[in-house]
Amino acid sequence: MSGTVKTEDVIYARRGARELKARVYRPDTPPSWPAVIDVHGGAWSGGDLTDGAARDEALARAGILAVAIEFRDGADGYPTSLQDINEAIRWLKASSLGIQPDRVGLTGNSSGGHLAMLAAMRPRDARYAELGGYPGVDASVRCVGMLWPVINPLSRYHHARRHRDRPTPAAWVGNIPERQEGYWKTEAAMAEGNPVLILERKEPVSTPPALWVQGRPDDHPHDYRDLDSAFDGNEPERFVHLYRAAGGSIDLVSVDQARRAEESIAPLVAFFRKHLR
């Protein structure tokens, strides 16, 4: 891996008076680079583009240009995040940053992992692709690396509410139900923008090579069983089963929950070096 990483903040889109910023992590090797867009987590209503700095710097040291993005979330509601991610992909492919447009991947943690996968599965969805220009450039990606994604917003919402409504509420729940309600507005939207249920509905989608890194033992937010599903396993295994059945290639890697941020970097970098070469 190379050593020095240079960062630069640029504006990739505007929504009225609001500017959406991207933080670019440049390798110290000559262009042309593969590239990865990083989507932060935060229960669809928090976090920022600095959250993945350690993994973005590691990607850049491995010769991959990393781009952490701001996007609309929270009260802006679904599908605004997908519109911004879709445009960010097309912007990056059309940019003068020195990347190879056919070697672009996505990554994200927690709710950002969900958004990364949903954007990859639906690169040409008319609702997601309606903003921005870039004629002739689409938002398809080569691969997706997810870190403990909240892959099923609806089941996680029900799961969090069950644990909140116990006589002694689980500490991890916090205000997760309210944050999900603020973004998704309805359970119907949680079901529609849902990679698990999309695959169960057998909708036609893209299935690029994928990685799921899961911290274990997880204290319920990401690694749980959906009590409304007949699948005999937790949500990570359920999604992996469905993704492979749809023709996709996906690896599920477990790391120590207490050190998941640090231990996820090596498998993530190895995944992107393999699929973006």
Distance from C-alpha of 1 to C-alpha of 5, rounded to nearest angstrom: 11
pLDDT of residue 219: 79
SS3 34: strand
SS3 135: coil
pLDDT of residue 188: 98
Average pLDDT of the chain, as a whole number: 96
pLDDT of residue 249: 98
- How far from chain centre, in Å, is Cα 84? 13
Structure confidence by residue, pLDDT tens digits, 35-69: 999 999 999 999 999 999 999 999 999 999 999 99
Q: In what order do the strands lie in the sheet with 143-147?
A: 6-15, 18-26, 65-69, 33-39, 99-109, 143-147, 210-216, 250-256
Q: Is the pLDDT of residue 2 over 60?
A: no
Enter the pTM of the model.
0.97
- Angle at which helix 53-61 crosses helix 265-275, to 10 degrees, equals 40
Domain ranges for the chain, please list them: 6-275
Instruction: With CA atoms as reference, report the closest residue to 104 among 78, 149, 137.
Output: 137
Instruction: With CA atoms as reference, report the closest residue to 108 among 75, 84, 134.
Output: 84
Distance from C-alpha of 191 to C-alpha of 86, rounded to nearest angstrom: 20
Q: Is the pLDDT of residue 3 over 70?
A: no
Q: Is the pLDDT of residue 242 over 80?
A: yes
Q: Is the pLDDT of residue 164 over 70?
A: yes
pLDDT > 70: percent of the chain: 99
pLDDT of residue 77: 98
| Residue 6: count of CB within 10 angstroms of its CB | 10
Q: How large is the average pLDDT for residues 2-24?
A: 93
Q: Is the pLDDT of residue 1 over 60?
A: no
Q: In terms of DSSP bridges, do strands 6-15 and 18-26 run parallel, antiparallel, or are they unpaired?
A: antiparallel
16: part of which helix (H) or strand (E)? Answer: none
Is the distance from CB of 241 to CB of 234 less than 8 angstroms? no
- DSSP output for 138-200: ----SEEEEES----HHHHHHHHHHHHTSSS--TTTTTHHHHHHHHH-SHHHHHHT-HHHHHH
pLDDT of residue 4: 82
Q: Is the pLDDT of residue 271 over 80?
A: yes
Structure confidence by residue, pLDDT tens digits, 73-103: 999 999 999 999 999 999 999 999 999 999 9
What own/partner pairs with CB < 8 Å and gap ≥ 24 does 70-74 have? Answer: 70/20, 70/21, 70/22, 71/20, 71/39, 71/115, 72/15, 72/20, 73/42, 73/44, 73/45, 73/46, 73/183, 74/44, 74/45, 74/46, 74/179, 74/182, 74/183
Structure confidence by residue, pLDDT tens digits, 174-208: 999 999 999 999 999 999 999 999 999 999 999 99
- Angle at which helix 80-94 crosses helix 111-121, to 10 degrees, equals 70
| Bridge partner residues of 26 (DSSP) | 6
- What CATH number is given for 6-275 in this structure? 3.40.50.1820
pLDDT of residue 124: 97
Q: How large is the average pLDDT for residues 16-30?
A: 96
pLDDT > 90: percent of the chain: 96
Distance from C-alpha of 110 to C-alpha of 115, rounded to nearest angstrom: 9
Question: What would the two tokens of residue 91 be?
Answer: 């912007």
H-type helices in 33-79, by residue range? 53-61
| Residue 121: count of CB within 10 angstroms of its CB | 22
Structure confidence by residue, pLDDT tens digits, 208-241: 999 999 999 997 899 999 999 999 999 999 999 9
pLDDT of residue 44: 98
Q: What residues contact 142, with CB distance under 8 A and at least 6 apart? A: 34, 102, 103, 104, 105, 208, 209, 275, 276
